[in-house]
Structure 1
Amino acid sequence: MSKFEDRDFVCKHMMLRKQDLVKVIHEKDLKTVEDIQDETNAATICGSCYDDLEDILQEELKKKKEKK
């Protein structure tokens, strides 16, 4: 489970909250952190949130799979 609440900033350089990332993951059907980077520019400046993006992505992909 992600250490972030929905309104917490995950990528402070891009001012992206967890809820923003979750929304784009689902709306754009993103499958990799690189997809998230391409779509949002998260983790492209300092990279310190890369692992957090991976955690959030895996959590959301798991939820999506469980809904099927």
Structure 2
Amino acid sequence: MSEIICNHLGISKDDFINIIKEKNLTTLDEVLDETDAGSVCGTCIPDIEQILNDVLNGKL
């Protein structure tokens, strides 16, 4: 199991990677809308943005 990125919703790094790839998401807003992550406290948003960028750049 990968590290939890959004503690309030229990969404892991692997979950974000899979959602981004499966849904072909390309923007942070799309990821946040799809997962509701960042809607409670927002502290996970920079980590989600980094994961998105890494997926889009082929690093993940």
Same fold (TM over 0.5): yes
Q: How many residues align?
A: 59
**Long gaps (5+) in structure 2:** none
Task: Kindly report which structure 2 residues correspond to 1:31-46, keeping only aligned pairs within 5 A, or say none.
Answer: 31-46=26-41
Work out the percentage of aligned pairs sharing the same amino acid. Answer: 37
Residue of structure 1 in register with 2:8 after alignment: 13
Residue of structure 2 in register with 1:55 after alignment: 50
Give distance in 1, aligned partners of 2:5 and 2:28: 13
TM-score of the two chains, using structure 2 as the length reference: 0.92
Q: Which has the larger radius of gyration?
A: 1
**Long gaps (5+) in structure 1:** 1-5
RMSD: 1.3
TM-score of the two chains, using structure 1 as the length reference: 0.82
Moved beyond 2 Å, runs of 4+:
none
What is the CA-CA distance between 1:55 and the residue it aligns to? 0.4
